[in-house]
Amino acid sequence: MANILFLCTGNSARSIMAEAYMNHAGAGRWRAWSAGSKPTGAPNPFALETLTRHDIPAGVGADAPRSKSWDEFARDDAPLMDAVATVCDNAAGETCPVWPAAEGKAPARLHWSFPDPAAAQGSDDDKRAAFDRVFADIRAAIDAFLKEQR
C-alpha cells in the first residue's frame, strides 16, 4: 500500500477532506494522512459536516481527524510517504520539512490548488455551498490521480 500526505496551512478543511476522501476512494491501495504548517488545532466543523453529507467516513477514536503539524511526518518514526500533496497555495510556497525517503526515493511532490472554504462569508448555507464546491474539486483531483495510478 502506498502512503500520501496532504498538506495545507491550517490542516482544518481542505487537507482534512482530502485525507478522508483518499482513505475512502483509495482504500486498499493508498493510505492518507494530513497535516499543516500552522495547524489550527481542530478540524473545521463544516469540513466534517461535508464529509458526512457525502457519506465519506472521517474516522473515529484514534482515527478521527485532527489538526496536526507537518513536523509529525518528518520524524524518523513517521510513515514513509510515496507522495506529498499540497492543497493550498500558502503551503506550496512554504519551506517543507525533509520527508523521510522510502528506499532512498524521495516522495513525489504534487500541488493541487483549491480555494479555502473556511474563508467563505455569509450564512451557514453559503459556507456549506463553499465547502461542497471545494470538496467536489478535491474528489475530482483524487479520482483523476487514482485513475493515473492504475
Residue type, 18: A
Catalytic annotation, residues = 8, 88, 96
Residue 53 to residues 17, 56, 83, 117, Cα–Cα distance (Å): 12, 8, 28, 16
CA atoms within 13 A on the CB side of 107: 23
